Structure 1
Amino acid sequence: MELIKVGYITNTHGIKGDIKIYPLTDYPERFDEKIDFYIEDEKTKVKIKKTRLHRGLVYVKLEGYNNINEVLKFKDKYIYINEEDRLELPEDIYYISDLVGMEIIDGDKLIGVVKEVMSNQANDIYICEDKNKKEFMIPAVKEFIKNVDIKNGKIYTELIEGIIE
């Protein structure tokens, strides 16, 4: 079973066992879904009883946890879902976790691997690494990214001079 990271538990909230989660998803409402969640390390399986969004954080009441002492162990841990519980994305939208590790092919030449995806207001930027561990960045725009083949782990590009030096 593959688990997908969807949040980071920043702290407890109050004395009745609530926790604060920094969402690592563009859809924080997913914490309202009636699915299984897992908290890292021991992969503790939890159910969410109640949620509310406030100032970019998700405040969560877990089923069966009724005081602060029971949830203190979850502080500074990640919360996960099963891979099959991921949302279906529209065409040409990808999960960052699927992009990291993909090979970058320019023309017919392997030029590197995606190490990280940086998001900014205009567009995402793929931070890549060549075989010599030298980093380069590719803006994730249709002018450069021609095809993303998730199944085969390859991103086909048409780059301009200067992106890879």
Structure 2
Amino acid sequence: MLKPFLEAGRIVGTHGVRGELRLEPWCDTAAFLSGFKTLYWQEGRTPAQVESARPHKSLLLLKLAGVDTVEQAEALRGRVVYIARTDARLPEGQYFQQDLLGCEVVDADTQQVYGKLTDIFSTGANDVYQVTDAAGKNYLLPAVRQVVTAVDITAGRVEIRPIRGIFDDAD
């Protein structure tokens, strides 16, 4: 089952004296989070209304309702911020990393199970998926359309057509 709330980032500090927060986003860009009107604490149990949000370098500067002093803002340092899945819209073919992690990775043609997707690395050109097999061996594969042919988050399944040599000893 998909989690109704997704980890979006962590409060890493304050900005100014009027209660603004510095948020380290755990998504592609801080701009993605700047459009949310409500964020959440405690895995979604407590809503926080966003008064303003703007990207600043690699961070998001955030003003929340009820946080009006630097002392109130400082008390939130280190807390994880969540977004509601229902508020988040991704373009076709894009997925939340949290949803991909743990998915079973199978061959699109033979249905052979290669392992579980255990990590995702951002390399600039494309992401790279780490797949860990039952014996604990790790394999890296590029997250490109020629390799990743289908993703079914609900079923927890990623289908691939691996490049020769990734899962075997072929050159």
Q: Does 2:25 align with 1:23?
A: yes
* TM-score after normalising by structure 2: 0.84
Deviations 1:136-157, CA, capped at 9 Å, x for gaps: 1111122222222223211111
Distance apart, 1:124 and its partner CA = 0.8
Q: Are the aligned partners of 1:34 and 1:47 in contact in 2 as well (CA < 8 Å)?
A: no
Root-mean-square deviation (Å): 2.1
Q: Are the aligned partners of 2:37 and 2:51 in contact in 1 as well (CA < 8 Å)?
A: no
CA distance in 1: counterparts of 2:151 and 2:44, whole angstroms: 35
Deviations 1:3-50, CA, capped at 9 Å, x for gaps: 111222110122221110122223533444353211347954211112
Q: Does 2:79 align with 1:112?
A: no
* TM-score after normalising by structure 1: 0.87
* Aligned residue in 2 for 1:58: 60
Q: Are the aligned partners of 1:105 and 1:156 in contact in 2 as well (CA < 8 Å)?
A: yes
Gaps of 5+ in 1: none
How do residues 37-56 of structure 1 correspond to structure 2 at under 5 angstroms? 37-40=39-42, 43-56=45-58
Distance apart, 1:114 and its partner CA = 0.4
Q: Does 2:142 align with 1:139?
A: yes
- SS at 2:71 equivalent: helix
Alignment match of 1:69 (pick from 71, 75, 89) = 71
* Aligned residue in 2 for 1:95: 96
CA separation of 1:116/1:56 partners in 2, compared to 1, >3 Å: closer, same or farther? Answer: same
Distance apart, 1:56 and its partner CA = 2.0
Gaps of 5+ in 2: none
CA separation of 1:124/1:30 partners in 2, compared to 1, >3 Å: closer, same or farther? Answer: closer
CA separation of 1:41/1:11 partners in 2, compared to 1, >3 Å: closer, same or farther? Answer: farther
- SS at 2:135 equivalent: coil
* Aligned residue in 1 for 2:35: 33
- SS at 1:53 equivalent: strand
* Aligned residue in 2 for 1:4: 6
Distance apart, 1:52 and its partner CA = 2.5
Counterpart residue type for residue 65 of structure 1: V
Deviations 1:101-142, CA, capped at 9 Å, x for gaps: 110112221110001111111111111111111111111122
Distance apart, 1:164 and its partner CA = 2.2
CA separation of 1:49/1:73 partners in 2, compared to 1, >3 Å: closer, same or farther? Answer: same
